[in-house]
Structures are given as structure tokens and as C-alpha cells.
Structure 1
Amino acid sequence: MADKPVYLTVEGKKKLEEELEYLTTVRRREVAEAIRSAKEEGDLSENSAYDEAKLQQGFLEGKVQQIEAQLRNAVIIEANGNGNKNVVGIGSTVTVVDEEFDEEETYTIVGSAEADPLEGKISNESPIGMALLGAKLKQEVNVETPGGTVIYKVLKIE
């Protein structure tokens, strides 16, 4: 089974590479030291420090594998999406208006690995992201939410 693509901006890829570097150098050393220190305490059968350190090692290695897989399957996207300011694509920054409440929102469509709603970065796999992908300027899109359908009108695509 082929792994699915992980859409990343150049900035997002760099952040993942930096995190991987930190985890494989600094954190691995810290966890190895914690395991060594706990082993020196003696009986491992009732050594909670050793158990905790081994648990941390497992989490660390899982995170390393996850980031390595994301980088291996990375598809770099341009900061302005497909370069077409008339159609929303991954990497586009889109300003929309909620037609019911007349509230403007601006979102950047990114891959799920980079999504951060507090920064206005939404995943291409989120309900809003999926509804906006392929939308044209001035087009209305319906977004299904737990609270009902929200209608957005695309005002600007960058």
C-alpha cells in the first residue's frame, strides 16, 4: 500500500526537519541518559523511573518514525497554492465571508501535518478545506458542520 502524500510548505518541511534533528540528537541522548540512570538504581522489576524512561523512549521513537514518514511522503506546495488567483488550491490563502453572520475569515489551506487553526492554517482534509478546494472567486460553498450547514462566499484568493 502506498503512503498518501503529505502536503507541506517549504516552511512546514523545514520545521519538521528541525524537529526531527532535535528528537534524534538532543532528546534521544536525554532519554538514553534517563534509562542508564534508572538502571543504576538496581532492581528493574520495581523501578518506576526505568519504566517511565522506557515509555518515553517508545513515544520518542514513534514520533521520529512519524516525522520520517511525513518527510518521505512530502509533496512541497507553493506558498500561493497553484499560482492561480481564481481557483483555491492547497497553499492558497482565501478570504471568505460567512453569509449568515456577515463575518469575514481568512484561511490558508495546508496539508494536515501543518494545520494550525489558531494561526488560520486549515487542513485540506478539514470540512472547510475540502469545501474550499477548487472553489472560484465569488463562488459560494457549503460546509457541513455539527451545528448545520454554513455557507461561505469566496472573496479573495492569494
Structure 2
Amino acid sequence: MTQYPMTAKGAEMLRTELQHLKSVKRPEIIKSIAEAREHGDLKENAEYHAAREQQSFCEGRIQNIEGKLSNVQIIDVTKMTNNGKVIFGTTVTVLNLVNDGEITYKIVGDDESDIKNNLISINSPIARGLIGKTLDDVVKIQTPKGAVEFEIVDVKYI
């Protein structure tokens, strides 16, 4: 059984999406299918086929979310003592030693990741390189542009 690590906020986002899919999206799709059936011949009815395809995607996503939520492992770092170690859920500020750029990442689960908001997946190369390291460590991480050295300048359990 695969455990899915997730922050409390990430689990809540999935529950909200699941609720929306079941209570709003599913009934809309059922209504679309019923309307498309009224138009006659189903073999050549593009609206019907589009609605059925939409239904398939929706049901697949519902099953996917339910599976993850049934095996979720919620990790709340705010209840842990900050010992400066980078773990799942921590917010890490790193200094790029090549260009002196500083960036802050929060390490989250796959479903929560959003690089635009500096939320990186636990399975990303940067997160894997940072996990287990501590404050002031220098880490060499392989990126698509080559190896980059980062210094961990701050670790927050927020």
C-alpha cells in the first residue's frame, strides 16, 4: 500500500476538489448527456460523445482522489521542533552559489506542487537533494542546466 505524504492544506484542497466533482461537476455532466441524447442519433452526436468523454475524465479523477485520500499520510511540521533539518513540509531558503540568487521553497506532496508559488514536490530533484540536510549545509544538485551548488540559509517549520 503506497502512502501519499501531504500537508494538511494539500489534503483539504483534495477534499474540496472531490466535493466539487461529486456535487457540481458530475450532475452537470449527467445533465449534458441527457440533453445530448434528446438530439437523436447517438452514433453521430458529437455533443453526446464529448459529454461521455468528460464523464470518463471526471470519474477517473474522483477515483484517483479517493484512492490518494484513503492512503494519505498528513505531515504537519508546525507541531514538530525545528532542529534545522530539511524534511517534508519545511520551508527552505537556499542561496544559489553560482549566481548568488536566493530562493525559498516549500517541500510538499505531488498534488500540491506549484513551482509558480515555490511549492516543490517531494519527488523533485531539488527537494530530494535538500531532504535530510541541515542549516548551513552546501548541497550539489543536478539540474537540467548542470550541477548547481546551493547553501541552505534558512529552514522554517511553518
TM-score by length of 2: 0.95
Match of 1:146?
144
Structure 1 residue 84 displacement after superposition: 2.9
- Secondary structure at 2:43 match in 1: helix
Match of 1:29?
27
Percentage identity across paired residues of the two chains: 38
- Corresponding pairs, count: 156
Structure 1 residue 80 displacement after superposition: 4.1
State the alpha-carbon separation in 2 of the partners of residues 146 and 119 from structure 1: 20
Change (3 A) 1:115 1:18: same
Higher mean C-alpha deviation, range 119-128 or range 77-86 = 77-86
State the alpha-carbon separation in 1 of the partners of residues 150 and 80 from structure 2: 21
Match of 1:113?
111
Paired amino acid for 2:14? L
State the alpha-carbon separation in 1 of the partners of residues 73 and 26 from structure 2: 28
State the alpha-carbon separation in 1 of the partners of residues 136 and 50 from structure 2: 55
Unmatched 5+ stretches in structure 2: none
Q: Is the 8 A contact 2:10 2:109 kept in 1?
A: no
- Secondary structure at 2:99 match in 1: coil
Q: 2:134 aligns with which of 108, 133, 136?
A: 136
Unmatched 5+ stretches in structure 1: none
State the alpha-carbon separation in 1 of the partners of residues 113 and 24 from structure 2: 26
Q: Is the 8 A contact 2:95 2:103 kept in 1?
A: yes
Write out the 4+ residue segments of structure 1 that deviate beyond 2 Å after TM superposition. 79-85
Paired amino acid for 2:71? N
TM-score by length of 1: 0.95
Structure 1 residue 155 displacement after superposition: 0.5
- Secondary structure at 1:44 match in 2: coil
Q: 1:14 aligns with which of 12, 15, 26?
A: 12
